[in-house]
Amino acid sequence: MIEHWIGGERVGSAETFTDISPIDGRVLTEVARGGATEASQAVEAAKKAFPAWARTSKVERAEILHAIADGVEKRLEELAITETEDNGALLRSHRRGVMPRVAHNFRFFADWLVQLEHKDFDTRGHTNHVSWDPAGPCALITPWNAPLMLATWKIAPALAAGNTVVLKPAEWSPRTASILADITAEAGLPDGVFNVVQGYGAEVGGPLVAHPDVRRISFTGSVPTAQRIAAAAAANLTPLSLELGGKSPLLIFTDADLDLAVDLAVEQYDNAGQVCLAATRILVQQEIADEFTARFVAKASALRQGDPRDEATDIGPNVHEHQLAKIDGYVKRALAQGARAVIGGGPNEDLGGLYYRPTLLTDVAQDSEIVQDEVFGPVLTLQTFTTEGEAVALANDTKYGLAATLATGSKERADRVSKQLVAGTVWVNCFFVRDLQAPFGGSRQSGIGREGGNWSFDFYCDLKNTVTAP
């Protein structure tokens, strides 16, 4: 049974829900189904723990964050397997990429905190001193596609800043947050500084973000949920950071290294396409479209789909039957509107369950839903363009602005095009290179605000300027 973690104690709820593995439909555990009562208890615990935690020195906080990172590294294999069972993402990625990154999230923000300072400056002999003051209890709401990585990307800076935290993990991937609670306790984090409430979004997440004692809300998830959370935040004027969906383009020009371009395109099937940053719209220059498509098909067809616990597997299942139905609905409607599936186009009947074939659709209209909406599955579209101007226009023509990737051999073109793209991150001849000191976030409906490095501390703190007379 997975329970809440409130004030340093396991707390149950009268009702539970069942956590089912997307790998094979196996029942993993029952989970406490929290509501307004548990949300309120957790905020109370966070509020009570806040003054003492906010008074600790930067060095004390940094030491505890490093101890949490040590704990994550010690239990890395357990975390990796648990998360794979919960959300179906590849075990090899959890072992070698995701969980080491979880530990790094804590180490990075611990070290960043220690060197965080603004140079004092003078105004007519008066000294200005800028400080990042802790803000109070933070409500952190996260999705299931990279549960612990996305949660700790918020938890680490929030704790480093001297805040206390209530985390609401996604109901489809509740278990690693519960292990993290144990790790924080073993690392010496005082009771109530980190709390976890489990349950459905509207039932426990809704009351949490509406709580008047919450001083910051950081949310990663979908646009419709963000709209509800922003409305709740408006009532209390709670500052919020929103990291939302995307429909990012991959622009491939005639001067690109075509092998690299193909690798970049196939990489978009990672995590069965359940990656917010995924460049799901391939835009390729007309002259090289046939050659690109042939090489893409050869490479993508060689991907091995199967059990994500197998090290040889490239693509696992999607997370939930609702997600699979949503993906298949998008593809079926696109095919009915005249799209052509170059590869894939439906569930993997050989495997059954929640496995969807990696799919590439062509003959899609720019204003169709398959081009405009986030599908969040292993589904890419391919469109062609003739001029650079047309490529930029197509790239920017969605409601999103999270990321964009370019494949080009020309530095001048890369500079010119990246300046014109509406995106929080632009990758040139690469993908998914993420440094925690860089600003991260999206434009338009991909989000509000940026986190990372100083931007995280700007968000999680109340900035203060103290002016002292000579």
- Which residues contribute to the site for ligand NAD (CB under 6 A)? 141-145, 150, 168, 170-171, 200-202, 205-206, 209, 220-222, 225, 228-229, 243-246, 276, 374, 376, 402, 442, 447
Q: How far is the CB of 231 from ligand NAD (least distance, A)?
A: 9
Q: How far is the CB of 146 from ligand NAD (least distance, A)?
A: 6
Among 422, 389, 379, 175, residue whose Cα is nearest residue 273: 379
Q: How far is the CB of 320 from ligand NAD (least distance, A)?
A: 9
Strands of the 126-134 sheet, one edge to the other:
121-123, 126-134, 461-468
Q: Are 148 and 83 in contact (CB under 8 A)?
A: yes
Contacts of 389 (CB under 8 A, 6+ apart): none
Q: Which residue is nearest to ligand NAD (CB)?
A: 201
Residue 283 to residues 148, 301, 321, 360, Cα–Cα distance (Å): 32, 20, 30, 12
Q: How far is the CB of 286 from ligand NAD (least distance, A)?
A: 30
Q: Are 291 and 254 in contact (CB under 8 A)?
A: no
Of 230 and 428, the one with the shorter C-beta distance to ligand NAD is: 230
Q: How far is the CB of 399 from ligand NAD (least distance, A)?
A: 12
Q: How far is the CB of 236 from ligand NAD (least distance, A)?
A: 14
Contacts of 197 (CB under 8 A, 6+ apart): 4, 6, 34, 38, 39, 42, 166, 167, 168, 204, 208
Of 288 and 423, the one with the shorter C-beta distance to ligand NAD is: 423
Of 200 and 432, the one with the shorter C-beta distance to ligand NAD is: 200
How far, in Å, CA of 440 to CA of 429, rounded? 19
E strand residue ranges, 253-318: 281-285
Of 6 and 210, the one with the shorter C-beta distance to ligand NAD is: 210
Q: How far is the CB of 65 from ligand NAD (least distance, A)?
A: 21
Q: How far is the CB of 403 from ligand NAD (least distance, A)?
A: 9
The residues facing 403 across adjacent strands are 425
Q: What angle do CA 22, 221, 77 make, to 5 degrees?
A: 45
Kindly report the number of other CB atoms within 10 A of residue 389's CB atom. Answer: 11
How far, in Å, CA of 454 to CA of 118, rounded? 10
Of 64 and 208, the one with the shorter C-beta distance to ligand NAD is: 208
Identify whether 451 is a catalytic site residue: no
Of 71 and 206, the one with the shorter C-beta distance to ligand NAD is: 206
Contacts of 77 (CB under 8 A, 6+ apart): 95
Give the active site residue among 243, 311, 321, 412.
243
Amino acid at 125: G
Q: Coil, strand or helix: which one is 359?
A: strand
Q: What share of the chain is helix, strand, coil (3-state, %, to 5)?
A: 45, 20, 35
Q: Are 161 and 113 in contact (CB under 8 A)?
A: yes
Annotated catalytic sites, by residue?
Answer: 243
